[in-house]
Amino acid sequence: MSNCSGAHICQCLSRLATVRLNSPVTIAGDRRKTGEQFVEGVLGLAGGLLELGLQNGDVVALCALNSDLYLEWLLAIAFVGGIAAPLNYRWSLEDARCAMDDVRPVMLVTDECSTYWYSKFQIDGMPYLRWLVYMNSPSDCSSKQFVLTVETLKKPALRSQPLNYFTATDGAAIICFTSGTTGRPKGATISHSSLVVQSLAKIAIVGYGEDDVYLHTAPLCHIGGISSAMAILMAGGCHILIPKFEAKSAIAAIDQLHVTSFITVPAMMSDIISLIRTKEAWRGKESVRKILNGGGGLPVELVKDATKFFPRAKLLSAYGMTETCSSLTFLTLYDPTKDTLSHLSHITEDLNYSLVQQPGAVCVGKPAPHIELKIISEDSSRFGRILTRGPHVMVGYWGQIATKASNASDEDWLDTGDIGTMDDCGNVWLVGRSKGRIKTGGENVYPEEVEAILSQHPGVSGIVVVGLPDTRLTEMVVACVQLRDNWRWSDSCFDPLTENKSRILSGDILLQLCREKHLTRFKIPKIFIVWRKQFPMTTTGKLRRDEVRREVMSSMQFLPSNL
pLDDT value for 437: 82
Least-confidence region, from 157-166, 195-204, 207-216, 355-364: 355-364
Choice between 558 and 282, residue whose per-residue pLDDT is larger: 282
Rg (CA), the chain: 25
Whether the CB-CB separation of 544 and 522 falls below 8 Å is answered with no
Domains, the chain, with CATH or none:
9-354 (3.40.50.12780), 438-557 (3.30.300.30)
Q: Which residues contact 222 (CB under 8 A, 6 or more apart)?
A: 88, 176, 322, 540
Q: What is the pLDDT of residue 80?
A: 96
Going by C-alpha positions, the residue among 288, 256, 241, 286 that lies closest to residue 269 is: 288
CA-CA distances (angstroms) from residue 204 to 200, 239, 363? Answer: 6, 19, 21
* Stated pTM of the model: 0.82
Query: Helical H runs in 104-141?
Result: 115-124
Mean of pLDDT values over 247-254:
96
- The chain-wide mean pLDDT, for the chain, equals 85
To 10 degrees, the CA torsion angle through 67, 72, 73, 79?
Answer: 160
Distance of CA 530 to the CA centre of its chain: 29
Q: Give me the DSSP letters along 77-111.
A: HHHBT-EEEE--TTS-HHHHHHHHHHH--SEEEE-
Strands 527-530 and 474-483: parallel
Q: What phi and psi, each to the nearest 5 degrees, are found at residue 347? A: -60, -50
How open is the CA angle 499-461-542, to the nearest 5 degrees?
A: 160
pLDDT at residue 159, as a whole number: 63
Work out the angle between the directed axes of helices 12-19 and 35-52 (0-180°, nearest 10).
Answer: 140
Backbone angles phi, psi at 49, to 5 degrees: -65, -40
Q: Looking at residues 332-349, what average pLDDT do you find?
A: 64
**pLDDT the model gives residue 113:** 79
SS3 content of the chain, % helix, strand, coil (to 5): 35, 25, 40
* Span 459-477, pLDDT tens digits: 999 999 999 887 777 789 9
pLDDT of residue 229: 98
Region of residue 132 (phi > 0: left; psi between -120 and 50: alpha; otherwise: beta): beta
- 16-30, 171-185, 375-389, range with the lowest pLDDT: 171-185
pLDDT score at 351: 42
SS (H, E, C) 329-354: EEEEEECCCCCHHHHHHHHHHHHHHH
143-184 pLDDT tens trace: 454 578 888 898 887 666 678 899 999 999 999 998 644 456
* Percent over 90 (pLDDT), the chain: 59
pLDDT of 540 strictly over 70:
no
Between the CA atoms of 2, 8, 13 and 19, what dihedral angle is there, to the nearest 10 degrees?
A: 130
Contact 221, 62 (CB under 8 A): yes
Each residue's pLDDT tens digit, 424-452: 999 999 887 778 888 887 777 889 889 98
Comparing CA positions, the residue from 283, 213, 241 lying closest to residue 74 is 241
pLDDT at position 496 is 44
Distance CA 377, CA 365 (A): 20
- Most confident range (mean pLDDT) of 24-28, 134-138, 453-457 is 24-28
Instruction: Give the model's confidence band at 563: pLDDT under 50 very low, under 70 low, under 90 confident, else very high.
Output: low
19-26 long-range contacts, CB within 8 A, separation 24+: 19/210, 19/236, 20/210, 20/236, 20/238, 23/238, 24/238, 25/238, 25/239, 26/68, 26/71, 26/238, 26/239, 26/241
**Residue 364, Cβ neighbours under 10 Å: how many?**
23
CA 27 and chain centroid, separation: 23
Is the model more confident about 555 or about 409? Answer: 555
Query: How many Å apart are CA 489 and CA 505, to the nearest integer?
Result: 5
pLDDT at 339 over 50: yes
Ranking 38-42, 114-118, 417-421 by mean pLDDT, the lowest is 114-118
Q: E strands along 265-411, which residues?
A: 290-293, 314-321, 326-334, 362-367, 372-376, 384-389, 396-397
- Lowest-pLDDT choice from 266-270, 409-413, 485-489: 409-413
Determine which helix (DSSP H) or strand (DSSP E) holds 309, and give its type and residue range: helix 300-309
Q: Give the pLDDT band (50/70/90) at residue 91.
A: confident
Q: Number of helices (H) and strands (E) in the chain: give both, helices first.
A: 16, 28
Length of the chain: 563
Nearest-angstrom CA–CA distance, 165 and 78: 8
- Whether residue 491 is predicted with pLDDT greater than 70 in this model: the reply is yes
**Whole-Å CA distances, 343 to 30, 203, 264, 315, 319:** 41, 24, 22, 12, 22
DSSP H helical ranges for 245-299:
247-257, 266-276, 284-287
Helix, strand, or coil (residue 72): helix
pLDDT, tens only, 223-243 = 999 999 999 999 999 999 999
For residues 135 and 150, the answer to whether their CB atoms sit within 8 Å is yes
Q: 51-62: per-residue pLDDT in tens?
A: 999 999 999 999
> Is the pLDDT confidence value at 507 over 90?
yes
- DSSP states of 32-64: EEEHHHHHHHHHHHHHHHHHHTPPTT-EEEEE-
**17: exposed, middle or buried (Cβ count in 10 Å: 0-12, 13-18, 19+):** buried
Cα–Cα nearest to 40, from 13, 22, 62: 13
